Amino acid sequence: MENSSDFAAVPDAFQRLWTPHRMVYIQDGQQPHPDDCPFCLAPDMDDEKALIVARGTHAYVLLNLFPYNSGHLLVCPYRHIATYDEASPEEIAEIGTLTQIAMRVLTAVSKCDGFNIGMNQGRIAGAGIAEHLHQHIVPRWALDSNFFPIIAGTKAIPKLLGETRREVAEAWPPGTE
Ligand SMILES: [Zn+2]
């Protein structure tokens, strides 16, 4: 069993119903230790372990360990900054470029119909890891709504994270990492 606190992720209030039988990512106590910033630790790990799909010069892209949907990506600057207004012009530019590429890759890989993209700034705004800036890219499908979130606070994640990471990483265009 792998320890979920070793992975970079943004916890939220949803419980998840994991359809695959291998539940290697599931365990109690999923909040990372507050002294260890998972978005600072992730780039030092290998891509598979950290769920990283692409590395840029100023920012990188990883799969969210606590996805709202299959293919839920996060774009993070390497630098430990909390809010968007602290980001440098270079970081802003690369976060934007990586977000565009992520949209194209997810569209090609998953045939999604739309996206929710955004940043929660501060815990009051819903940031799971408020100390390190991260942009959410959540693919959406026309038929992706189901009754689970309404009746049980549960979302069905139909693919293992490792499988999704590999698909997205392999579809990522060369020269952008
Ligand atoms: Zn950090």
Ligand 1 centre to CA of 40 (Å) is: 4
Q: Is the pLDDT of residue 141 over 70?
A: yes
Q: For the chain, list the domains and their CATH numbers.
A: 4-171 (3.30.428.10)
Q: How far is the centre of ligand 1, averaged over its atoms, from the C-alpha of 77 (Å)?
A: 9
CA 150 vs CA 26, 79, 164: distances in Å:
22, 37, 25
Question: Taking every pair of C-alpha atoms in the chain, what is the biggest distance, in angstroms?
Answer: 44
| 146 is known to lie in a ligand binding site | no
**Is the confidence at residue 23, as pLDDT, over 60?**
no
Give the C-alpha separation, 95 to 85, whole Å: 13
Q: Is 86 helix (H, G, I), strand (E, B) or coil?
A: helix
Give the pLDDT mean for 21-34. Answer: 38
User: pTM of this prediction?
Assistant: 0.74
Q: Is 116 annotated as a binding residue?
A: no
- Measured from the Cβ of residue 17, the count of other Cβ atoms closer than 10 Å reads 12
Give 104's pLDDT tier (boundaries 50, 70, 90).
very high
Q: Which residues are catalytic?
A: 134
Residue 159, pLDDT score: 64
What is the share, in percent, of the chain residues with pLDDT greater than 70? Answer: 70
Distance CA 44, CA 47 (A): 9
Neighbours of 130 (CB within 10 A): 17
